[in-house]
Amino acid sequence: MSVDKATVEKIAKLARIKMGDEELERMAPELSNILDWVEQLGEVDTSGVEPMRAVIPNALRLRDDVIDADPKTAGGRRDDVLANAPAAEHGFFGVPKVIE
Amino acid sequence: MTELTNLGIKAIRDGVAKGDFTAREVAEGFNAAVAEASALNAFIVATPDHALAAADAADAKRAKGEELGAMGGVPIGMKDLFATKGVQTSAASHILEGFTPQYESTVSSNLWAAGAGMLGKLNLDQFAMGSSNETSFFGNVSSPWRKHGTNAAMSPGGSSGGSSSAVAARIAPAATGTDTGGSIRQPAAFTGICGIKPTYGRCSRWGVVAFASSLDQAGPMARSVEDCAIMLGAMAGFDPKDSTSLKVDVPDWEAALSADLKGKKVGIPREYRMEGTDQAILDSWEQGKAWLKDAGAEIVDVSLPHTKYALPAYYIIAPAEASSNLARYDGVRYGLRDLPDGAGLQDMYAETRAAGFGDEVKRRILIGTYVLSAGFYDAYYNQAQKIRALVAQDFEKAWAECDLILAPTTPTASFPLGSLDADPLTMYLNDVFAVPASLAGLPAMSVPAMLNSDGLPLGLQLVGKAYDEQTVLDAGLAIQQRAGFDHPPEKWW
């Protein structure tokens, strides 16, 4: 199944990437080629096969129920967290007005 | 005295410990080599002061009679996908240009704790998406190798192309790489060096810019198997900050290295004989079998029936995970913000991501968004995850008949930069032999075998059982000893 320009426009919107007409025209056949090629997976009989969720069997751990157990991932690092923000103001991330 | 920049990890570490030369002399030598090699474009940022500070610390320790560590006095290159405190970490993207982490990745921390220093941050394909190092925002990386009789710039492979180029050119004795679907092994093969992707979970992903989290693994790239064993030992280890980190001991791979393969069975997967593979690659594979036999191994035929489907499954799973992982680049918390006058929040996201991501990254985000979207999830993503399970089962069945697998690393040798531009799919096929081991989370290594008739390196790939890096390294050593591959590329930069 191929994707047309309108479909690419829709997924670009879902992915929050602005694309002009020319870029959509260029991307549509490229994405179609890739998707046509992965279609071959449909040939494989996978009935009764469990989809793989973890490549090496490994139970998710719980950390110790201790506040700030690891200082590297603990709280109290506001300035570090904001250090790379394009617009940090008053100790917060700044964004354009969301509600008029 | 031999040129210090010709030395690898073991020779530098042992030479510094013995007092044959100082760590400072080594760091100065490599810093100068890096500064001279701008034509390769292997580094995005050089950090000569980091290398010198680590060297001085190693020399001071030696003066006091203290242990220098497994990587004591060795300056290395760091792929620019690892967060390094106070040093730009860009993932070779515009969207992270100028991003200066306030913390250090676990893998780089481990390396510094083992006594290593940093020569700089190495170029790569943008967000590690690419197989030729042509998708970097900071320009293509050139391989130090050239085809006989031409001056065309050749691909160092990707995504760890800055790493492979720097190590092959001897402007770094070793470098970190990351491998999602071949990004350590394919560039190692293209440039005549060694590189190992360990079992998934051996090296912490904490502080590594995420591409496809269920596949991403860090590993070393160096010019010998011994050096890879040493550096992998320094990088690996349990990390509570990575939820998929393996809570198992790190063996002393270096101490246990042995090229004696008596009693080992080496599987030759028949499905890896694919159309479009260079005859020279097939010949090198035959040669590899002979070398391993000579080392005492028994060669057996095995079947990995779902090999053909591994690559298309990968090109669903990896983009799906990427589209989710890269959602974090929104112009709010770090990196680029593109906010046109009067734009709202949604416009800011879309403009920022349009300006900040390169074409290949956009392509993969869109593929990932599509295959995860309502109505397509089962047909694409779930089916790919099932096929991933089948690929892993193929290996499990093969382990009943063999202890490791020998295959080519790539279907061709390196190609000129720009020659595969026309079609993204042709580029993806580079990783056809590398991806199955990635999907199954298995340790896999590329070691140089020989030069082809164009004078370009060819690599052989070894894939082992989960947790069994030792057998992979041992077989790598057996090949290394028999291949006698010690050709440096001719210097043109």
What ranges do the domains of chain B cover? 4-259
Neighbours of B190 (CB within 10 A): 34
pLDDT at position B259 is: 98
Could you give the CA distance from residue B27 to residue A49 in angstroms, rounded to a whole number?
A: 53
Domain boundaries, position A32: 5-43
In a domain, A20, yes or no: yes
Could you give the CA distance from residue B239 to residue B242 in angstroms, rounded to a whole number?
A: 6
Confidence band for B2, pLDDT divided at 50, 70 and 90? low
Confidence band for B72, pLDDT divided at 50, 70 and 90? very high
Answer yes or no: do A80 and B369 touch at CB < 8 A: no
pLDDT at position A69 is: 79
Q: What percent of chain B has pLDDT over 70?
A: 100
Which CATH number do you get for residue A19?
A: 1.10.20.60
Contact criterion met (CB below 8 Å) for B227 and B10: yes
Per-residue pLDDT, averaged over B368-381, amounts to: 93
Closest CB from B309, B357, B363 relative to A31 = B363
Identify the CATH number of the domain defined by range B4-259. Answer: 3.90.1300.10
- Residues B185-196 pLDDT 10s: 999 999 999 999
pLDDT at position B1 is: 46
Answer yes or no: do A16 and B99 touch at CB < 8 A: no
- Residues B73-90 pLDDT 10s: 999 999 999 999 999 999
Active site annotation includes B453: no
In a domain, A72, yes or no: no
Answer yes or no: do A33 and B423 touch at CB < 8 A: yes
Q: What is the pTM of this model?
A: 0.97
Read off the DSSP letter of residue A78.
H
pLDDT at position A8 is: 97
| A45, amino acid identity | D
Q: Distance, in angstroms, between A31 CA and closest chain B CA?
A: 7
Q: Is the pLDDT of residue B297 over 90?
A: yes
Q: Distance, in angstroms, between A76 CA and closest chain B CA?
A: 14
pLDDT at position A61 is: 83
Q: Distance, in angstroms, between A3 CA and closest chain B CA?
A: 10
In a domain, A92, yes or no: no
Instruction: Name the active-site residue from B159, B160, B163, B323.
Output: B159
* Least confident stretch, B27-41, B208-222, B267-281: B267-281
Answer yes or no: do A16 and B330 touch at CB < 8 A: yes
Please give the tally of structural domains in chain A: 1
Could you give the CA distance from residue B448 to residue B74 in angstroms, rounded to a whole number?
A: 23
In a domain, A38, yes or no: yes
User: Does the predicted interface ipTM exceed a cut of 0.90?
Assistant: yes
Interface test with A, best of B370, B372, B394, B463 (most A CBs within 10 A): B370
Q: Is the pLDDT of residue B158 over 70?
A: yes
pLDDT at position B317 is: 98
In terms of CA atoms, which chain A residue is nearest residue B370? A11
Active site annotation includes B159: yes
- Separation of CA B235 from chain center: 13
Instruction: Name the active-site residue from B108, B142, B165, B183.
Output: B183
Helix (H, G, I), strand (E, B) or coil at A99: coil
Per-residue pLDDT, averaged over B389-398, amounts to: 98
- Residues B451-467 pLDDT 10s: 999 999 999 999 999 99
Instruction: Name the active-site residue from B79, B121, B197, B465.
Output: B79
Q: Which residues of A21-50 are buried (b: 16+ CB within 10 A; e: fewer)?
A: eebbeebbebbbebbeebeebeebebeebe
- Residues A41-98 pLDDT 10s: 999 999 999 999 888 887 788 878 888 877 777 888 899 999 999 999 999 999 998 8
pLDDT at position A100 is: 72
Q: Is the pLDDT of residue B486 over 90?
A: no
Answer yes or no: do A17 and B366 touch at CB < 8 A: yes
Per-residue pLDDT, averaged over B111-129, amounts to: 98
Neighbours of B471 (CB within 10 A): 18
Active site annotation includes B183: yes
pLDDT at position A67 is: 86
- Residues B330-368 pLDDT 10s: 999 999 999 999 899 999 999 999 999 999 999 999 999
Q: Distance, in angstroms, between A93 CA and closest chain B CA?
A: 7
Average pLDDT over chain B, rounded to whole?
96
Per-residue pLDDT, averaged over B192-210, amounts to: 98
Per-residue pLDDT, averaged over B233-259, amounts to: 96
In a domain, A14, yes or no: yes
In a domain, A59, yes or no: no
